[in-house]
């Protein structure tokens, strides 16, 4: 069986702590025909819930997921009492990533594995 070398990147959604591996060359066949610019869709940035960042290696994606989560937590803390329930729920929902998966030791271990 033939081995395919897929180019991968790692996706981190804004305000999320999970790192998702995405293959960049799993393309679907495009429809044939001419491209008409008059019919092309208007482009805009996605909403906060669907905004994501892509990284070339998993260790860097993990570092950025951790940094983004800490920045979001700081923002919720700065908002004060009105966001305390939201902060508590965020910490509860992302407990494993914040306290287990995204600790510096695991990030460095992943980085060493990528260098091999």
What count of residues does the chain have?
A: 116
0.85 exceeded by pTM = no
- What would the pLDDT profile of 22-66 be if each residue is shown by its tens digit? 877 655 555 555 555 555 566 666 666 678 888 999 999 999 999
Distance of CA 115 to the CA centre of its chain: 21
Cα(98)–Cα(94) distance, integer angstroms: 6
């Amino acid at each position: 069986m033939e081995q395919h070398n897929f180019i991968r990147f790692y996706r981190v959604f804004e305000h999320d702590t999970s790192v998702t591996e995405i293959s960049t060359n799993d393309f679907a066949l495009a429809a044939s025909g001419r491209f008409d610019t008059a019919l092309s869709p208007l482009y805009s940035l996605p909403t906060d819930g669907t905004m994501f960042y892509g990284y070339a290696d998993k260790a860097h994606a993990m570092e950025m997921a951790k940094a983004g989560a800490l920045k979001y937590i700081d923002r919720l803390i700065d908002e004060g009492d009105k966001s305390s329930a939201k902060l508590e729920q965020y910490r509860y929902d992302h407990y494993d990533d914040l306290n287990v998966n995204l600790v510096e030791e695991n990030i460095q271990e992943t980085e060493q594995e990528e260098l091999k």
